[in-house]
Amino acid sequence: MKHFLLYLNTQSVLALAFIFFIQYSVAAQDTGKAEAGVQELTDKLANPVANLISIPLQNNINYGIGAYNGSKYTVNIQPVIPFKLSDNLNLITRYIIPVVDQRDITGENTHEFGLSDATITAFFAPKSEKIIWGAGPAFLAPTATNKFLGTEKLGIGPSVLIMHQGKGLSVGFLANQIWSVAGNGNRADINQFYTQIFLSHSYKSGASVGVNAEVTQNWEANSTMISLNPSIGTVTKLGNQVVQFAVMPLIPIVGPSASRPDWGLRAVIAFVFP
């Protein structure tokens, strides 16, 4: 119960803070006092290969998972660090480090907490004004601290991003395919495809609305998971620190009954370093 209340409190605080800043941003837009360049920054944050340092903390909570009606709370620490390779080419490195707290997933009255496997993606992204694209390797690192939270496998594969971006409008997709190449021989091999298709619209105030669809195809288990995630967000400042807030429901569309949640919620706060 203590962990459950912590989940609710975390989501409530982020949601309330988000609502406050949405109201602030909309008011700024209505009065014409929005800070110059904030829409451009919002558009950059919608671009996965923008030359921009950020540290998003993505909070995900899902309920009604599996036979025991389990719950799963995941904080994804997702730093994005770009490197300039030349005047026309950047290397954008993206990291996903999940911290998981789950109950009644592996059995009734069970509880697991710790790190899950990390994903590291490196996009080589040439500068482009119309069609933005990037490609490079994706790695799965067996960093899980509990056997129920990870695969115990090292994986590698290709990743790609293609998108179009105009002022206030971003549309595109990113995808990766990962195969296991080493690890515990007693665990299942990994052969998994992931794609995210996204659309977002930004405003001069820094507010944004959007939607994305996430598709995960497990070729080994012959299973597909699809979720649809509408979102609202805003870019503002906490003191001198630029931050982005976003919230979105996680709506499951397709998935095996053993792992598909009944519903979920995502709340994101990203620290941005323009």
Q: What single DSSP character describes residue 189?
A: P
In angstroms, the CA 207 to CA 23 distance is 9
Is residue 268 within a helix (H) or strand (E), and if so which, with residue range?
strand 263-273
Mean pLDDT (whole number) for 128-132 = 85
When pLDDT is cut at 50, 70 and 90, the band that residue 66 belongs to is very high
Is residue 178 within a helix (H) or strand (E), and if so which, with residue range?
strand 169-183
Q: What is the CATH number of the domain that holds 246?
A: 2.40.160.40
Q: Return the HEC string of 34-52.
A: CCCCHHHHHHHHCCCCCCC
Dump pLDDT digits (tens) for 16-46: 444 444 444 444 444 344 454 899 999 999 9
The confidence score (pLDDT) of residue 35 equals 54
Lowest-confidence pick of 32-41, 167-176, 239-248: 32-41
The confidence score (pLDDT) of residue 96 equals 98
Q: Residue 115 in 3-state DSSP? A: strand
Global pTM reads 0.86
Is the pLDDT confidence value at 223 over 50? yes
In angstroms, the CA 269 to CA 272 distance is 10
Is residue 28 within a helix (H) or strand (E), and if so which, with residue range?
helix 2-31
Mean pLDDT for all residues in the chain:
89
Looking at the chain, the whole-number percentage of residues with pLDDT higher than 70 is: 87
Q: What is the extent of the structural domain holding 181?
A: 2-273
Is the pLDDT confidence value at 152 over 70? yes
Dump pLDDT digits (tens) for 196-207: 999 999 999 999
Decide: 26 and 80 in contact? Cβ < 8 Å.
no
- Would you state the structure tokens that stand for residue 234, as one six-digit string? 């805003």
Dump pLDDT digits (tens) for 4-22: 444 444 445 444 444 444 4
Q: In the chain, how many domains are there?
A: 1
In angstroms, the CA 248 to CA 250 distance is 6
Decide: 53 and 43 in contact? Cβ < 8 Å.
no
Decide: 112 and 144 in contact? Cβ < 8 Å.
no
Q: Residue 145 in 3-state DSSP? A: coil
